[in-house]
């Protein structure tokens, strides 16, 4: 078929659906949208403030199957990664893993944007405090 089993599985059984309370220490939130189709995606990371490692990740996506599968996969990958490693996740990695067809590539872009936004949010909110604590 045109789609891999993996993508169908992520679509049917999305991992890590849900959310953290925004103000929980170490939580970074990314909220992004795809203007082409009106999909919205919220992706959150929960970082161990001491080690800088992502302990957990959650998402909530209102959109098509590829967007859901992309964000589901992204949260799986994020867990256990350092912030720098997380920043290296590219939409093309998601495309290759899920074998998304060209028409659905913008869904993977959305997931990448969401990761970036969540990392930025974390840095803005908590990184300074983490640095303070460390010093």
Partner 1 sequence: MNYFEVFALPRRLGLDADDLQRRFYELSRRHHPDFHQAAPPEAQARALEASALVNAAYRTLRDPIARVEYLLCLEEGRAAGDGADVKPAAPPALLAEMFEIQAALEEARSGGLDAAARATLAAQRARLLERSRDAERRLTGPLARAWDEGPEADRPCVLAACREALATRAYLRTVIQDLSRALGEDEESSVSNRRH
Partner 2 sequence: MSRIVGIDLGTTNSLVAYVDEQSGLPRVIPDRDGRVLLPSVVSFTPEGVLVGEPAKRQLVRRPGSTVYSVKRFMGRGFEDVREELRYFPFSVAPAEGIVRIAVGGREVTPPEVSAVVLRALKERAEGHFGEAIERAVVTVPAYFNDSQRQATKDAGRIAGLDVVRIVNEPTAASLAYGLHQLARGVIAIYDLGGGTFDISILRVKDGVFEVLATNGNTHLGGDDFDRALVEWLLDDIRARHGADLSGDPEAMQELRLAAEAAKIRLSAGERTALTLPFADFTYHREILRGELEELIEPLVQATLAPCRMALADAGLPASTIDEVVLVGGSTRVPMVRRRVQELFGKAPHSQLNPDEVVALGAAVQAQILAGGITHMLLLDVTPLSLGLETLGGVASALIPRNTTIPTGARELFTTSVDGQTVVDLHVVQGERELARDCRSLARFELRGIDPMPAGMPKIEVTFLIDANGILQVHAKELRTGKAASIEVTPTYGLADADVARMVEESYAYAEADVHARLLIEARNEADTVMTHVERALRQGADLVPAGELAAIRAALDALRQERDGGNTELIVARTVALNQITEPLATRLMDAALRAALASRRVAEIMESP
Q: Does 38 bind partner 1 (CB under 8 A)?
A: yes
Q: What is the DSSP string of the chain?
A: --S-HHHHHHHHS-SSBS---TTSTTEEEEEEEETTTTEEEEEEEEEETTTTEEEEEEEEEES-HHHHHHHHHHHHHHTT-BHHHHHT--HHHHHHHHT--GGGHHHHHHHHHHHHHHHHHHIIIIIHHHHHHH-
Of the residues 69, 78, 107, 114, which is catalytic? 107
Binding mask 102-121 for partner 2 (x = CB under 8 A): xxx-----------------
24 binds partner 2 (CB under 8 A): no
Q: Which is nearer to partner 1, 49 or 75 (CB)?
A: 75
Q: Active site includes 107?
A: yes
Binding residues (CB under 8 A) for partner 1: these are: 31-40, 42, 60, 62-64, 66, 103-106, 109
């Amino acid at each position: 078929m045109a789609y891999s089993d993996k993508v169908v599985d992520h679509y049917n059984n999305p991992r890590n659906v849900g959310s953290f309370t925004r103000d929980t220490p170490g939580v970074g939130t990314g909220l992004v949208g795809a203007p082409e189709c009106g999909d919205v995606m919220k992706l959150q990371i929960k970082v161990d403030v001491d080690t800088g490692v992502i302990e957990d990740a959650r998402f909530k996506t209102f959109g098509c199957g590829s967007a859901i599968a992309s964000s589901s996969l992204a949260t799986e990958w994020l867990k256990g990664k350092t912030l720098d490693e997380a920043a290296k996740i590219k939409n093309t990695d998601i495309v290759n893993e899920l074998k998304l067809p060209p028409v659905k590539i913008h869904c993977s872009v959305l997931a990448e944007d969401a990761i970036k936004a969540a990392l930025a949010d974390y840095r803005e909110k908590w990184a300074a405090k983490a640095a303070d604590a460390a010093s």
